Amino acid sequence: MWEHSRRRTFVLSSVFVALAGLSHAAAQTGQGLVIDQTGLPLPGATVQLVRDTEVVTTVIASGDGTFAIDPALKGDTLVVSMDGFETARVPRDAAAKIVLSIGRAQETTTVIALAPTLAPASPTTSLLGSSITASTVSRLPSSRLKARESLPLLPSIVRGPDGLIQLGGARANQTPVLLDGFNVTDPATGNSSLNLPFESVRGVDALRDPMSVTYGDLLGGVVQVSSRRGGDKFALGVQGVVPRPRFASPGFGRLEGIFPRVHASGAAAAGTVHYMTAVEYDFERIPVPGVTQGQGPDIVEKSTTAFGRVDVQVSPRNELTLEGVAFPGATGSFGLSPRREDESTPNLSASDLFGGVTDRFIVDQATILTLQVGGLVHDADMTPHGNGTTYLSPSGWRGNRFSTSSATSNRVDALLRSR
């Protein structure tokens, strides 16, 4: 009996020693894991290595919640934070498993889920539709590696007959698009054309039935796009340079599309400055059944997306983020169909320019003051594709497009919040 008890004590001691060894090994290699209270990983969590009051380096947890910090860097404390969770400060040697608690939650939290057939308790209760990360976008069966292009693959999100995304049955102009908290929708139409390459996107959240503080009413939904901060090491990528020929009629043998993109990120100034930039050019030729024969005519869409973000650690308590997007695009022979000849179609061109500044200041351990100022300018033009006289007959439109129009709108946002 005594011998059996001694063997059991020896086994338990061995297990504890092994676990301690694994934890020590993780600390020595600079690797760690960030999870929530339920044990699920938290991708996108921000991990800062701090030495006294100075932030030595900042890394982002990967898709499985793991992160790695160079063991050669000096620092004894890790500060781990994520939106919706309480910030955690732990010793560096305790990085093997870092647990973040839900914001303002107690150690024990009871969650009661309603049956899917039941309605929310209040008409102002927001329903979180779906979240999608950039790594998920790269794995989804989408022909275009852009976050918004993959949204219709999620529940409750569809693309309407006009080609615009509808969230929870709401129209596109009832669903504002936010970029890092900035409203980037056209104030005239309520729509947004901004669509970033997935390398520059950290994730996209689709929120259904939110309450509008500005208008005191319900909105159809909100799409929140979060951009990615540059890493500590330089990274460069070039993709999509192979053109896509067409091997079907009409338009057999012609260039159907090409979507090259270049992205670069890294750090400078001894790690106090992080940058991320991505540029993509899209060209697509769309044949129209019953109209396109051989070399044309067809609809041609061209656009360029240029995104840039710079994060500057001004001081241990102050961080500044500058970001901007340029999105010029054009569509030739818009609306081409068997009922509309090529010369009677218009050419559309538009450009979006956005710039934003976010200043975060840590007042104390429980308060962060955030100031955001941003501006958006949208220009759109419609010009005739042909020339001459416009005719309308039972067979459709022929001759020249009969109108020319131009529109310009702008939006300026300023936000100050404390949390």
Flag the least confident range among 277-281, 317-321, 341-345, 401-405.
401-405
pLDDT one-digit tens code per residue, 240-250: 888 988 888 77
Q: How confident is the model at residue 160 (pLDDT cuts 50, 70, 90)?
A: low
CA–CA distance, 174 with 126 (Å, rounded to integer): 15
Q: Looking at residues 34-45, what average pLDDT do you find?
A: 86
pLDDT one-digit tens code per residue, 21-30: 544 444 455 7
Homologous superfamily (CATH) of 2-99 is Carboxypeptidase-like, regulatory domain (2.60.40.1120)
Count Cα neighbours of 258 within 13 Å in the Cβ-side half-sphere: 7
Which residue stretches of 265-356 are H helix? none
User: Does domain 127-227 bear CATH number 2.170.130.10?
Assistant: yes
Hey, is 198 helix, strand or coil? helix
Mean pLDDT of the chain: 78
pLDDT the model gives residue 156: 57
CA–CA distance, 141 with 145 (Å, rounded to integer): 10
pLDDT the model gives residue 170: 62
CA–CA distance, 13 with 4 (Å, rounded to integer): 14
pLDDT surpasses 70 at 86: yes
CA–CA distance, 210 with 20 (Å, rounded to integer): 46
Hey, is 82 helix, strand or coil? coil
CA–CA distance, 322 with 313 (Å, rounded to integer): 12
> Does the CA dihedral 161-163-169-171 come out positive or negative?
negative
CB 151 within 8 A of CB 138: no
CB 185 within 8 A of CB 191: yes
Total-model pTM: 0.62
In the chain, what are the domain boundaries? 2-99, 127-227, 236-418
